[in-house]
């Protein structure tokens, strides 16, 4: 059990915790949420004893092992597999001692302990974790020095998972994972046998991998039962009640104050007025929970171009004469919302660079419509910002002729305040840097926006704002992201990048997730179900996920039907049949046929989701 009892802590005079308390029973999986800068990472450092509390105490069971990912693995010549195996220091020490031990009793003790900790299956377990995080068998034998910092962070994560501490602390672990790695981690954490605390803004992970939410707000900690969606509903209800009570109190306060103002100086009413003054003094203001303001994104609207805006025919792309992707036959229209699926290393980023004109095709044809502007955002661009310059100076370099007032308005449209506009980039948070990079990528009102992991470092409110902005944006969107919530709400087409090809994924994101978990997540020791076995009763979380999936199917149907109606309107306009409109009309007709086919598939998925939910509700 982890007990946080009445703790207080400040940074540079700013209190992060004041009389904050929470109790986490052993074995609980807990997601920690709160505003950026609220103190979530500081809480981890306090739990680990790296910082000294100003008040209160944090208690853990004696000899409890705490583990977390502090920094990436050094770029040495040790193989990935050996690096992970070395993380279990007890096993490594026992094996080393076994080489030199001479006393028969000690040798017996060592062998017994090695059997107790399942030391002989360690290599297989370590390899399975590395594979789940995206490393092939061949890569596991390679030295750490052969991998970049992001991949070495994955090795560090694999090492701490393998060491299986009693209390596992993970701070935004999906930020350096792709979608496939993030889904694997969700499943792994849900089955992890000890206590987990995970700081995350990934709604998918917070809904599927944890059973409780620890919310840090107003310098206090509040533990909620259930996944993130349950927490959000509970908190919204609490906010509504608090706001209603605050309004009632304000009305009562105004009534009392009015009486005092009218009668405090009249002799026959002075006593009553004084009584009401005392009542006003005793009324403690009802504070509504702090709501993070929706940090809006404002993408400029491009003019409409004739479709298709991008057409690839038998194209190939790669590096140094070696093709990564080949036989690409793709079409993109300005109203497309496309998510790229596939494991890391299969070529998603290569395709994004091809579509953003950062790579030329090695063979075949790639045609862009005239005047096409492409906006491109990749996570590495955040790290390439000039840390000594302010956001205002970044914009001034790209827009030297614009007035400062206009530049500040642009920054405000991406949630950067007046004070942040004058702050050196090196002092901004990761989320603020990401906002600046997104602004720079969209300055020219691109017709197509390519986003490679745009949500890293964005908090949940900012991610919701990004979803709204992308759905309102009138250009094409190409998304690479580990955030399934973002993909499910924005993308209406899925492309699978695999084995050097790019093909349409006919199912939805949930079917893709189930396919991945079915391939990669066998539960050790699970016996095959008997043919006549009765289905397990679905849990409350299962039912919530099924209902959410049904809502997503309905939203997808509505979006496709809106696209169908808009295309029908265009095709029904007499101007579409005037001279010179042939190419545009043919493109609309082709798109209409695609949409009608997509509606049929979406309807089938909706029916399947409805039937699954109906069967589950009957079983419950």
pTM of the full structure: 0.72
Q: Is 520 exposed, middle or buried (0-12, 13-18, 19+ CB in 10 A)?
A: middle
Q: What is the pLDDT of residue 480?
A: 94
Examine the pLDDT at 526 and tell me if it is beyond 50.
no
User: Count of CB atoms within 10 A of residue 188's CB?
Assistant: 16
Q: What is the pLDDT of residue 275?
A: 64
Backbone angles phi, psi at 161, to 5 degrees: -65, -40
Most confident of 73-82, 248-257, 284-293, 471-480: 471-480
pLDDT band at 280 (very low <50, low <70, confident <90, very high): low
Query: Tell me: the pLDDT tens digits for 375-389?
Result: 999 877 787 889 999
Query: Would you kindly state where each structural domain of the chain is located, as residue ranges?
Result: 1-65+165-226, 74-163, 231-282, 295-522, 537-620
d(CA 463, CA 377) in angstroms, rounded, equals: 15
User: Count of CB atoms within 10 A of residue 81's CB?
Assistant: 20
Q: When comparing pLDDT for 42 and 271, which is higher?
A: 42
Angle at 109 between CA 105 and CA 114, to 5 degrees: 150
Cβ 213 vs Cβ 227: under 8 Å: yes
Q: Which of 46-60, 514-528, 583-597 has the lowest mean pLDDT?
A: 514-528
Sheet containing 14-24: order of strands: 14-24, 2-11, 55-59
Examine the pLDDT at 333 and tell me if it is beyond 70.
yes
Query: Tell me: the pLDDT tens digits for 179-192?
Result: 888 999 998 998 89
pLDDT band at 284 (very low <50, low <70, confident <90, very high): low
Q: Which of 206-210, 301-305, 363-367, 544-548 has the lowest mean pLDDT?
A: 544-548
282: enclosing H helix or E strand: helix 270-282
Q: Is 215 exposed, middle or buried (0-12, 13-18, 19+ CB in 10 A)?
A: buried
Q: What is the CA radius of gyration of the chain?
A: 29
Examine the pLDDT at 269 and tell me if it is beyond 80.
no
SS3 185: helix
Q: What is the pLDDT of residue 476?
A: 95
The CATH class of the 1-65+165-226 domain is alpha beta
Instruction: Give the contacts of 574 (CB within 8 A, at least 6 positions apart).
Output: none
Average pLDDT of 248-258? 71
Is the domain defined by 295-522 classed in CATH 3.30.365.10? no
Examine the pLDDT at 285 and tell me if it is beyond 70.
no
Q: What is the pLDDT of residue 290?
A: 44
Q: What is the pLDDT of residue 392?
A: 94
Tokens for 490, please give them. Answer: 């924005």
Spatial CA neighbour of 179 closest among 352, 351, 341: 341
Do domains 1-65+165-226 and 295-522 share one topology? The answer is: yes
Spatial CA neighbour of 147 closest among 76, 71, 87: 76
Sheet containing 448-452: order of strands: 374-378, 448-452, 476-480, 337-341, 493-498, 501-504
Examine the pLDDT at 256 and tell me if it is beyond 80.
no
Average pLDDT of 253-261? 72
Examine the pLDDT at 548 and tell me if it is beyond 90.
no
Q: What is the pLDDT of residue 522?
A: 36
Tracing tokens 């994101």 back to the chain, one arrives at: 509
- Which residues, in sequence order, are bridge partners of residue 323? 318
d(CA 425, CA 447) in angstroms, rounded, equals: 28
Average pLDDT of 287-316? 78
Query: Tell me: the pLDDT tens digits for 410-452?
Result: 999 898 888 899 999 988 888 889 899 999 999 999 999 999 9
Q: Is 607 exposed, middle or buried (0-12, 13-18, 19+ CB in 10 A)?
A: exposed
CA dihedral 573→576→577→578, nearest 10 degrees, is 110
Summary mean pLDDT of the chain: 84
Q: What is the pLDDT of residue 279?
A: 62
Q: What is the pLDDT of residue 368?
A: 95
pLDDT band at 101 (very low <50, low <70, confident <90, very high): confident
Cβ 199 vs Cβ 44: under 8 Å: yes
Angle at 189 between CA 187 and CA 190, to 5 degrees: 65
Q: What is the pLDDT of residue 267?
A: 59
């Amino acid at each position: 059990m982890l007990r946080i009892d009445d703790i207080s802590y400040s940074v540079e005079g700013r209190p992060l915790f004041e009389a904050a308390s929470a109790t986490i029973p052993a074995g609980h999986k807990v997601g920690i949420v709160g505003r950026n800068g609220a103190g979530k990472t500081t809480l981890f450092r306090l739990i680990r004893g790296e910082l000294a509390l100003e008040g209160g105490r944090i208690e853990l069971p004696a000899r409890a092992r705490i583990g977390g990912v502090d920094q990436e693995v050094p770029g040495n010549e040790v193989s990935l597999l050996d690096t992970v195996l070395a993380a279990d220091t007890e096993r490594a020490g026992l094996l080393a001692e076994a080489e030199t031990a001479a006393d028969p009793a000690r040798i017996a003790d060592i062998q017994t302990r090695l059997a107790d900790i399942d030391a002989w299956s360690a290599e297989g377990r370590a390899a399975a974790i590395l594979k789940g995080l995206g490393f092939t068998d061949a890569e596991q034998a390679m030295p750490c020095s052969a991998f970049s910092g992001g991949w070495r962070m994955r090795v560090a994560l694999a090492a701490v998972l393998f060491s299986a501490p009693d209390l596992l602390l993970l701070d935004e672990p999906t930020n350096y994972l792709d979608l496939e790695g993030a889904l694997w981690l969700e499943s792994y954490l849900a089955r992890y046998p000890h206590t987990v605390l995970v700081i995350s803004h990934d709604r998918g992970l917070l809904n599927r991998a944890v059973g409780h939410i620890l919310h840090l707000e107003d310098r206090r900690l509040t533990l909620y039962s259930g996944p993130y969606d349950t927490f959000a509903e509970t908190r919204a209800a609490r906010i509504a009640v608090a706001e209603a009570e605050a309004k009632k109190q304000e009305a009562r306060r105004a009534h009392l104050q009015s009486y005092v103002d009218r009668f405090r100086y009249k002799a026959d009413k002075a006593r009553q007025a004084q009584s009401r003054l005392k009542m006003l003094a005793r009324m403690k203001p009802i504070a509504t929970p702090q709501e993070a303001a929706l940090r809006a994104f404002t993408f400029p609207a491009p003019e409409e171009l004739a479709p298709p805006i991008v057409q690839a025919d038998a194209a190939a792309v790669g590096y140094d004469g070696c093709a990564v992707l080949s036989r690409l036959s793709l079409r993109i229209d300005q109203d497309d919302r496309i998510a790229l699926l596939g494991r890391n290393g299969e070529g998603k980023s290569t395709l994004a660079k091809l579509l953003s004109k950062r790579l030329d095709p090695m063979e075949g044809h790639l045609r862009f419509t005239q005047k096409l502007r492409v906006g491109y955002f990749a996570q590495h661009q955040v790290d390439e910002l000039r840390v000594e310059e302010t956001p205002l100076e970044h914009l001034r370099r790209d827009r030297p002729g614009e007035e400062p007032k206009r530049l500040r308005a642009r920054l405000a449209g991406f949630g950067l305040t007046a004070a942040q506009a004058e702050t050196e980039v090196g002092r901004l948070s990761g989320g603020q840097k990401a906002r600046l990079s997104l602004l720079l990528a969209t300055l020219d009102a691109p017709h197509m926006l390519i986003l490679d992991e745009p949500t890293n470092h964005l908090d949940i409110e900012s991610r919701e704002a990004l979803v709204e902005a992308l759905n309102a944006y009138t250009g094409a969107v190409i998304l690479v992201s580990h955030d399934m919530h973002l993909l499910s709400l924005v993308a209406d087409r899925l492309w699978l990048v695999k084995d050097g090809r790019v093909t349409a994924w006919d199912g939805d994101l949930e079917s893709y997730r189930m396919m991945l978990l079915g391939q990669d997540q066998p539960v050790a020791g699970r016996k095959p179900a008997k043919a006549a076995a009765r289905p397990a009763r679905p849990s409350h979380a299962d039912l919530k996920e099924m209902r959410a999936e049904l809502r997503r199917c309905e939203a997808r149907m509505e979006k496709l039907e809106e696209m169908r109606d808009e295309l029908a309107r265009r095709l029904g306009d007499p101007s579409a049949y005037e001279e010179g409109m042939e190419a545009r009309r043919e493109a609309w007709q082709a798109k209409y046929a695609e949409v009608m086919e997509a509606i049929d598939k979406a309807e089938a998925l909706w029916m399947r989701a409805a039937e699954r939910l109906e069967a589950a509700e009957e079983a419950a």
